[in-house]
Structure 1
């Protein structure tokens, strides 16, 4: 079976929860799945005063590890309609992998969170996906086979470009059942695709 990395950055824990759901979906296919995060770059005193979630269990990834995986699913919250500096800095260090074509043909996907419905979910996903395409990766989004994202009964995240959640202006909202189902579904589809391409 394929090897899948769910790589995320989470300030307050919303993306950590979504990443866990993506990993669950990928594992359901029999794929070997690792859940890792990128390092926090905000000074500790500022992170503590800002109530960042600093006790996340996932180990910190290194750029060199990326080429060991058949699929990489990248999750990060929005910062003014783009990925945050923590994730951008990590990917910026992957120039050596890009130069060698080390990620060509691998499967990629993205997921995100925003404070509000209209806080830039799709544009943030594309800011991640653009990087993955420069690496030569094959992108798998969240198609409407996850019909929960079409719900009119409640406010939900979810786009055809990747799983999303809405955190609220103060981070008071946690990922909903439908949003977590979307994250699991995307993880499953990405792992299924990687299994077809790389599984034995």
Structure 2
């Protein structure tokens, strides 16, 4: 049975919700899916002043070495000025040993993100994550147009062929919609299906 890691960083809980949806999709495909978050690196004073969400049902990942024990890794992080935030970067920057050993070569990877606005750099952020995964030698699975609910302009919604997304609004008041969460589930299922096929 394939093992999927959904690894995320979330300041206000939007990516946390998307991470759980990705894991639900992976489990629906028959995979084991673990959800972990990366450590917070912002000073406590900043965390408090910005009112970051500090409670989570998901444990912090123990070390970067754990990545090697999974068949697929899906990384979620919000947009920070058009790229992934420093918390996720700091974690992935520790993976040099895995890269040197080729420990992630051939594994399946994907990305998901959020931003405050509809044009807040979501696709660039997805590529900033995907770039890391490609350097690790991973096979990338996005949010393909088999998920047609991402199409159309009848409502505000995230979604990109490069990965599932959500839009939080400037004050974080907008929560992931049913369409966005279903997109995350779809991507999680597709990633798990590809990982299961590769393992067969």
Secondary structure at 1:197's aligned position in 2? helix
Mapped to 2, the partners of 1:33 and 1:18 lie a distance apart of 14
Indicate whether 1:103 and 2:104 are aligned. yes
Indicate whether 1:23 and 2:32 are aligned. no
Mapped to 2, the partners of 1:80 and 1:42 lie a distance apart of 16
Mapped to 2, the partners of 1:174 and 1:2 lie a distance apart of 30
Aligned residue pairs total: 199
Mapped to 2, the partners of 1:188 and 1:90 lie a distance apart of 25
Aligned to 2:51: 51
Structure 1 stretches lacking a partner, 5+ long: none
Deviation sequence 1:16-35 (CA, Å, 0-9, x none): 00000000000001101100
Aligned to 2:90: 89
Indicate whether 1:5 and 2:11 are aligned. no
Give TM-score, length-normalised by structure 1: 0.98
Question: Aligned-pair distance for 1:151?
Answer: 2.6
Mapped to 2, the partners of 1:198 and 1:170 lie a distance apart of 43
Question: Aligned-pair distance for 1:46?
Answer: 1.9
Secondary structure at 1:76's aligned position in 2? strand
Mapped to 1, the partners of 2:119 and 2:43 lie a distance apart of 29
RMSD, matched Cα: 0.7
Aligned to 1:65: 66
1:33-182 aligned at under 5 Å gives the runs 33-61=33-61, 62-182=63-183
Deviation sequence 1:105-161 (CA, Å, 0-9, x none): 000000000000000010000000000000000000000111111032101100000
| Structure 1 outlier segments of 4+, above 6 Å | none
Mapped to 2, the partners of 1:27 and 1:51 lie a distance apart of 32
Mapped to 1, the partners of 2:49 and 2:128 lie a distance apart of 28
Secondary structure at 1:164's aligned position in 2? strand
Mapped to 2, the partners of 1:141 and 1:30 lie a distance apart of 19
Aligned to 2:184: 183
Question: Aligned-pair distance for 1:56?
Answer: 1.0
